[in-house]
Amino acid sequence: MQLTLEFGGGLELLCDSEKIHKVNVDLPNGADSDDFTMTHLLSWVRTNLIKERPEMFMKGDTVRPGVLVLVNDCDWELSGQLDTVIEDKDVVVFISTLHGG
Amino acid sequence: MEAGEAKSKKAGGSRLCCICNQRRPVLKRPKTLQQICRECFYEVFEEEIHQVIVGNRLFKSGERVAIGASGGKDSTVLAYVLSELNRRHNYGLDLFLLSIDEGITGYRDDSLETVKRNEVQYGLPLQIVSYKDLYGWTMDEIVKMIGLKNNCTFCGVFRRQALDRGAALLKVDKLVTGHNADDIAETVLLNILRGDIARLSRCTSITTGEDGPIPRCKPFKYTYEKEIVMYAYFKKLDYFSTECIYSPNAYRGFAREFIKDLERLRPRAILDIIKSGEDFRIATTTKMPEQGTCERCGYISSQKWCKACVLLEGLNRGLPKMGIGRPRGSGNDQKDTKARSTAKSIESKQCGSLEF
């Protein structure tokens, strides 16, 4: 499935200073497309895109507190956070708020 | 069609914005847990800041106001919202952008480019003052001399005075900074952790330094960082977001992380910490530092010399550890006529704070 992932607020520095990544994510073996959630996507991102300091992006199995997540321009707190189902062509944005103002 | 429905379900589609009851919500407000749409978000975000400005009488018509602008998210949103509100509600303010160039290659030079774009985008005149001009040292040179320990102390102390001096150059009546609710909650905790009672009692004030010539205020005192970043994202505001290459300030970092963890469990915690800070009463038996003025530059100081002068003296004499740790004022008088003459007119606050 094709996804657009966007990193901002300094998180782009963890993935080769590229803000926008158009990626192709394969579903885990035997998984139904309805099963692919933010939990899976986060672990995919951590393995495939984050090149350094993963602790700036994740804490435990979720994003680090202070990192905002939007799925199709909507706060993921409205769609179930880690349980948000991700589909083909979705746009997922990660923005860190943990930098100076 | 199917995909469209699934998507709207995912976005909380069955629910509508709690304010207008018409549009799809895009954001959960940390302050109220309301789910609101983009249009209503812009409206409540701006209106709350307007109410804070009016309710606390932050400005008077005809005043000249400098916005401390780092190019980061908070000051960029502040410059945008303040110029918008100034127009909409006829505040009658003359607004300026004031930036400090600490002399950090690869960080501040880039963020200053953002401020220069903001100058054009918002039509606000920009003043830049540099550490090199004010103190004779850039942060790059300071770090070369002292290494990566305590460098944030130098930078914080120098920045506070630099903002006052820049404000004096612009002849403004007030200086506003982009400190948000998260920053203030973090500072309350830090002051408790450091036992800094004097700062604890004033760090929650929305306006400080009213006894000096240039009061400072924080219109974002009750504004959550999450909403500032969301606002900047939805409005596509141009801001700079790289961490300072000489950071991390570890102690502050811990406090910040702790606040963010609390916010995840209970977003109101941030406002409650601010409330606790506001309501602290300092025992009358607590000895507070006496406010005087620096013998060398005239800036407000509780010691013989202000912190900036002590640090600067250390640098110039090749003893950079001077002034780190317990404050003490000493050393040979070294005339700095430029600093002296400018500083005379800008006495305002005790220096040494890591604010801004």
Mean pLDDT of B187-200: 90
B45-85 per-position pLDDT tens digit: 999 999 999 999 999 999 999 999 999 999 999 999 999 99
CA distance B317 to B154: 15
- Number of A–B residue contacts, CB under 8 Å: 91
Report the phi/psi class of residue B8: left, alpha or beta, with left for phi > 0 and alpha for psi in -120 to 50: alpha
| Interchain proximity B6–A78, CB inside 8 Å | no
Q: How many CA atoms lie within 13 A of B276 on its CB side?
A: 14
Min Cα–Cα distance to chain B from A71, Å: 8
Q: Which residue has the tokens 């707190």?
A: A77
Q: Which phi-psi region, left, alpha or beta, contains residue B244 (left: φ > 0; alpha: ψ -120 to 50)?
A: beta
Of the candidates A74, A88, A97, which has its C-beta nearest B26's C-beta? A74
Q: Are B206 and B218 in contact (CB under 8 A)?
A: yes
DSSP A54: G
Does B225 touch chain A if contact means CB atoms closer than 8 Å?
Answer: yes
The one-character DSSP state at A92 is: E
Q: Identify the pLDDT of residue B349.
A: 28
Residues of A in contact with B72 (CB under 8 A): 99-101
The answer to whether residue B353 scores a pLDDT higher than 50 is: no
Residue of A nearest to B3 (CA): A87
Mean pLDDT of A30-46: 87
Q: For B178, which residue in chain A has the nearest alpha carbon?
A: A101
Tell me if B73 and A101 make a contact (CB, 8 A cut-off): yes
Alpha-carbon span A29 to A36, nearest angstrom: 11
The span from the CA of B192 to the CA of B151, in Å, is: 22
Residue B118 in contact with partner chain A when CB distance is under 8 A: no
Across the range B292-297, mean pLDDT stands at 84
**Verdict on whether the full-model pTM lies above 0.90:** no
B137, two tokens: 């040292």
Residue A79 token pair: 């769609």
Contact B26 A73 (CB under 8 A): yes
Considering only residues B355 and B216, tell me which one the structure prediction assigns the higher pLDDT. Answer: B216
Fold of B51-288: Rossmann fold (3.40.50)
Give the model's pLDDT for residue B252: 77
Chosen for mutation from B76, B229, B270 (greatest number of chain A CBs closer than 10 Å) is: B229
Q: Do A101 and B180 touch (CB under 8 A)?
A: yes
Which residues span the domain enclosing A58?
Answer: 2-96
pLDDT at A40: 93
Distance CA(B251)–CA(B183), nearest Å, equals 14
Higher pLDDT, B139 or A101: B139
pLDDT at B2: 44
The answer to whether the CB of B221 falls within 8 A of the CB of B178 is no
Q: How many domains does chain A have?
A: 1
* Confidence check: pLDDT of B340 > 70: no
Alpha-carbon gap, residue B28 to A75, rounded angstroms = 7
Q: How confident is the model at residue B345 (pLDDT cuts 50, 70, 90)?
A: very low
Six token digits for residue A67: 């990192």
DSSP class of residue A19 equals: S
Lookup: tokens for A41:
């996507």
pLDDT of B277 > 70? The answer is yes
Q: What is the ipTM of this complex?
A: 0.94
Both tokens assigned to B335: 């005339």
- Checking if the pLDDT of A69 tops 50, the result is yes
Structure tokens at B53: 């400005």
Distance CA B190, CA B255 (A): 7
For residue B38, give both structure tokens.
């983009």
What percentage of chain A has pLDDT greater than the value 70? 94
Q: pLDDT at position B151, please? A: 81
- Contact B354/A at CB under 8 A: no
pLDDT bucket at B132, cuts 50 / 70 / 90: very high
Mean pLDDT along residues B307-326: 80
pLDDT in tens, B244-273: 777 656 677 888 889 999 999 999 999 999
Q: By CA distance, what is B240's nearest residue in A?
A: A9
Residues 6+ apart with CB under 8 A from B183: A101, B74, B225
For residue B308, pLDDT beyond 90: no
Q: Which of A6, A37, A97, A98 to mutate to test the interface with B (most CBs of B within 10 A)?
A: A97
Any domain includes A42: yes
**Which residue from B102, B57, B98, B62 is spatially nearest to B78, judged by alpha carbons?**
B98
Put simply, the answer to whether A66 touches B256 (Cβ < 8 Å) is: yes
Query: Is B179 near chain A, with CB under 8 Å?
Result: yes
Higher pLDDT, B109 or B225: B225
d(CA A94, CA A79): 15
- Least-confidence region, from B1-10, B53-62, B119-128, B229-238: B1-10
Number of H helices, E strands in chain B: 14, 10
Segment B295-304 shows an average pLDDT of: 82
CB-count exposure of residue B195 (10 Å: 0-12, 13-18, 19+): exposed
pLDDT at res. B185: 96
Residue among B10, B72, B264 minimizing CB distance to A79: B10
Residue at B285: amino acid letter: T
Cβ separation A99–B28 shorter than 8 A: no
> Under the phi-then-psi rule, with left for phi > 0, alpha for psi from -120 to 50, and beta for the rest, what region is A73?
left
Q: Is residue A101 part of a domain?
A: no
Residue A67 lies in a domain: yes
Residues of A with a Cβ under 8 Å from any B Cβ are 8-10, 13, 64-66, 68, 70-75, 77-79, 84-85, 87-88, 93, 95-101
List helix spans (H) across B64-138: 73-88, 108-122, 131-135
Please state, as a whole number, how many other Cβ atoms lie within 10 Å of the Cβ of residue B46. 17
> By percentage, how much of chain B surpasses pLDDT 70?
86
CATH of the domain at A15: 3.10.20.30
Which residues in chain B are classed under CATH 3.40.50.620?
Answer: 51-288
CB atoms A10 and B243 under 8 Å: yes
Task: Tell me the C-alpha distance between A74 and B337, whole Å.
Answer: 56
- Label residue A100 by pLDDT band (50, 70, 90): low
Residue B127 phi, psi dihedral angles, 5° rounding? -120, 130
What's the whole-number average pLDDT of chain B? Answer: 84
